[in-house]
Amino acid sequence: MKPLTEREIRAAFVNCSKGEAKRLSVPHDLAERPWDDLDFFGWRDPQAAERAYLAAELDGRLVALVLRAPGAGSWQTRRSMCSMCMTVHTGGVSLMVATKPGRAGQRGNSVGTYICSDLACPLYVRGKKDAGAGARLPESLTLEQKIQRTVTNLAGFVAKVTA
C-alpha cells in the first residue's frame, strides 16, 4: 500500500468522534514502516492495552477503524486462527471488536473478528514474520492468492462494520 501520513490516518477514522481521532495514538515511525509489504496498517495503542487500530485503502478510499481487544485472558494460551490472514497462533490471536459508526454504534452495535494480536497479518502472509511451527497450514495457494484472500477478508470485515 502507499505510505500513509499521520494526517491521512487520523482523517480516515469512521467509528469514533473527530476529537478521539485527533487524540488517539498513531505511531511516530510511519516513515520506517514496510509499506510495500502491507495490505493494511494495523497497530496497538501503546497507551491503552485494550485498543488497536487499523487503516486500509479499499476501493480507493482510506478507512480506519478503532478496535477494542480484550486484555490477557484464557484465550491467550489457546491455538486459534486469524480470520484475516489464516495464520494459526498459540495465544497470538485476539477477538477485536469494532463499534459501528453513527447511530448504530451509539446503540451499542458492534462487529467482532479474530485478528493476529499484533495486526501484522500482511507480514505473516509474506513470511516476513514468523508465527512459529504449524502457523501456516499447507495450502496450494500462491502468495498472490493468499494476499488477495487477506484483502478480501479485511474488506468483508470493514464492510460489515460500516454497513
What is the contact surface with Zn ion in residues (CB under 5 A)?
Answer: 82, 84-85, 87, 116, 121
Instruction: Count Cα neighbours of 111 within 13 Å in the Cβ-side half-sphere.
Output: 16
**To the nearest whole angstrom, how small is the minimum distance from the Cβ of residue 83 to Zn ion?**
8
* 112: its cell numbers: 467482532
DSSP 3-state assignment of 112? strand
Cβ nearer to Zn ion, comparing 54 with 85 = 85
Measured between its terminal Cα atoms, the distance across the chain in Å is: 24
**To the nearest whole angstrom, how small is the minimum distance from the Cβ of residue 20 to Zn ion?**
25
| Number of residue whose CB is nearest Zn ion | 82
**To the nearest whole angstrom, how small is the minimum distance from the Cβ of residue 8 to Zn ion?**
23
Cβ nearer to Zn ion, comparing 21 with 96 = 96
**To the nearest whole angstrom, how small is the minimum distance from the Cβ of residue 80 to Zn ion?**
11
> What is the spatial distance between Cα 157 and Cα 87, in angstroms, rounded to a whole number?
17
**To the nearest whole angstrom, how small is the minimum distance from the Cβ of residue 18 to Zn ion?**
29
DSSP 3-state assignment of 2? coil
Cβ nearer to Zn ion, comparing 102 with 134 = 134
C-alpha separations of 157 from 56, 98, 135, 146, 161 in Å: 11, 9, 22, 17, 6
Cβ nearer to Zn ion, comparing 10 with 149 = 149
> What is the spatial distance between Cα 127 and Cα 136, in angstroms, rounded to a whole number?
9
Cβ nearer to Zn ion, comparing 16 with 82 = 82
